[in-house]
């Protein structure tokens, strides 16, 4: 999949495509339904399929620290979109200039002049432009004027409710990974580069692979059974912590993963952590001895949940 960072990097070769637009946070089954319809249109038109996303996401630009916790980082989003068959990803920098564009200006400047779209697929709740003033009826007028195909996908329902990023966040918060997997169509995964930590886990007998999440909010928090990829051909069982490490007075969220029966060097490696079960909530420990005893108990539970060593 080709990643195009910014409209200024669009070239003549990028003109002529079928497109869809959105956040695609989590790339859940509702998003996948949009992508399937996009790929069907692309195949009929013999044109590349392009997904247009925004960085930061509009809610993050307007909401700052109060924005909903992001489900997928940019790299994970790219990997999922490529996995589902998208040809190109256009990443538009969401700033004050882009936010000020009216729906008509966005269509004219990005979809018509830059991309020369042949077709457009959107979700049935799609809103865009300054103050979210554009909707499907807006697009219909421009589709008629510029002769591009326009269609929408109905809401994708699971358990009689619309699949959405909000529902995924709620299921993660509740530790309901059966619901998470149903909504996503895949396990919830976080990836990143293993960095050096403060070695407290190693001192307690539980060395960890540490990933800096680069966020002040996380859609999940606590202790989890997990499986890790990126350290060999098979998934490796592990226990994972997501939180701010209150015992150290932390503020930013971190992901710390203790792999069972693994003693090789993992620093600098890119790993993916697939969360399978919640073990418990984060607890406000005041000393490392109590924390160490609890981790030992947590590991027993996580191994049982994963069927490891049984």
pLDDT at 4 over 90: yes
Write out the residue range of the structural domain in which residue 289 sits. 188-306
Query: Is there a single domain that holds both residue 53 and residue 124?
Result: yes
119 located within any domain: yes
Q: How far apart are CA 24 and CA 35, in angstroms?
A: 10
Q: Residue 6 has what pLDDT?
A: 96
Q: Residue 28 has what pLDDT?
A: 97
Q: Residue 198 has what pLDDT?
A: 67
Mean pLDDT of the region 272-287:
91
Torsion on CA atoms 249, 254, 255, 261, rounded to nearest 10: -50
pLDDT at 277 over 80: yes
Query: Is there a single domain that holds both residue 26 and residue 128?
Result: yes
Query: Is there a single domain that holds both residue 157 and residue 204?
Result: no
Mean pLDDT of the region 130-141:
89
Q: Residue 201 has what pLDDT?
A: 61
Mean pLDDT of the region 289-304:
92
> Which CATH number fits the domain that encloses residue 154?
3.40.50.620
Tens digits of residue pLDDT in 236-269? 999 999 988 766 666 788 899 999 988 788 889 9
Q: What is the DSSP string of the chain?
A: -EEEESGGG--GGG-SEEEEES--SS--HHHHHHHHHHHHHHHHHT--EEEEEEES-HHHHHHGGGSPPPSS-HHHHHHHHHHTT-SEEEEEE-SHHHHT--HHHHIIIIIIIIT-EEEEEEETT--BSGGG-B-HHHHHHHHHHHT-EEEEEPPPEETTEE--HHHHHHHHHHT-HHHHHHHHSS-EEEEEE-B---SHHHHTT---EEEE---S--S--EEEEEEEESSSSS-EEEEEEEE--GGGT--S-EEEEEETT--S--TT-EEEEEEEEEEE-----SSHHHHHHHHHHHHHHHHHHHTTT-
Query: Is there a single domain that holds both residue 132 and residue 242?
Result: no
Q: Residue 262 has what pLDDT?
A: 85
90 located within any domain: yes
pLDDT at 160 over 90: no
Q: What percent of the chain has pLDDT over 90?
A: 72
Query: Is there a single domain that holds both residue 96 and residue 245?
Result: no
179 located within any domain: no
174 located within any domain: no
Query: Is there a single domain that holds both residue 131 and residue 279?
Result: no
103 located within any domain: yes
Tens digits of residue pLDDT in 226-240? 999 988 888 999 999
Q: Residue 205 has what pLDDT?
A: 64
Q: Which of 89-98, 118-127, 199-208, 253-262 tops mean pLDDT?
A: 89-98
Q: What percent of the chain has pLDDT over 70?
A: 94
pLDDT at 310 over 60: no
Q: Residue 254 has what pLDDT?
A: 87
Tens digits of residue pLDDT in 9-62? 999 999 999 999 999 999 999 999 999 999 999 999 999 999 999 999 999 999
Query: Is there a single domain that holds both residue 156 and residue 236?
Result: no
pLDDT at 189 over 90: yes
Query: Is there a single domain that holds both residue 223 and residue 152?
Result: no
> Which CATH number fits the domain that encloses residue 235?
2.40.30.30
Query: Is there a single domain that holds both residue 107 and residue 249?
Result: no
Query: Is there a single domain that holds both residue 128 and residue 26?
Result: yes
Instruction: Choose one of 126, 161, 196: the last residue of a domain.
Output: 161
150 located within any domain: yes
Structural domain count of the chain: 2
175 located within any domain: no
Query: Is there a single domain that holds both residue 195 and residue 148?
Result: no
């Amino acid at each position: 999949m080709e990643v195009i960072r910014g409209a200024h990097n669009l070239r003549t070769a990028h003109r002529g495509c079928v497109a869809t637009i959105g956040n695609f946070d989590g790339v859940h089954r509702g998003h996948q339904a949009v992508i399937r319809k996009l790929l069907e249109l692309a195949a009929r038109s013999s044109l590349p399929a392009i997904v247009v996303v925004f960085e930061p996401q509009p809610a993050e630009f307007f909401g700052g620290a109060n924005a909903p916790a992001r489900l997928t980082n940019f790299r994970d989003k790219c990997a999922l979109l490529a996995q589902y068959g998208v040809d190109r990803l256009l990443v538009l920098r969401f700033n004050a200039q882009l936010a000020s564009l009216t729906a008509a200006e966005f269509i004219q400047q990005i979809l018509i002049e830059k991309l020369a779209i042949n077709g457009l697929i959107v979700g049935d709740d799609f809103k865009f432009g300054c103050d979210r003033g554009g909707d499907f009826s807006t697009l219909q007028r421009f589709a008629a004027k510029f002769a591009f195909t326009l269609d929408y996908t109905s809401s994708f329902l699971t358990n009689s409710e619309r699949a959405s990023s909000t529902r995924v966040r709620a299921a993660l918060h509740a530790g309901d990974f059966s619901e998470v997997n149903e909504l996503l169509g895949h396990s919830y995964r976080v990836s990143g580069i293993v960095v050096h930590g403060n070695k407290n886990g190693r001192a307690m007998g539980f060395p960890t692979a540490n990933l800096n999440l680069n966020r002040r909010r996380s859609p999940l928090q606590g202790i989890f059974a997990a499986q890790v990829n990126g350290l060999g051909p098979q998934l490796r069982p592990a226990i994972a912590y997501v939180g701010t490490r209150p015992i150290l007075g932390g503020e930013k969220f971190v992901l710390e993963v203790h792999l069972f029966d693994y003693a090789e060097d993992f620093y600098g490696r890119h790993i993916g952590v697939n969360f399978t079960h919640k073990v418990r909530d984060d607890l406000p420990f005041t000393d490392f001895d109590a924390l160490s005893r609890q981790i030992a108990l947590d590991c027993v539970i996580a191994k049982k949940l994963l069927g490891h060593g049984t």
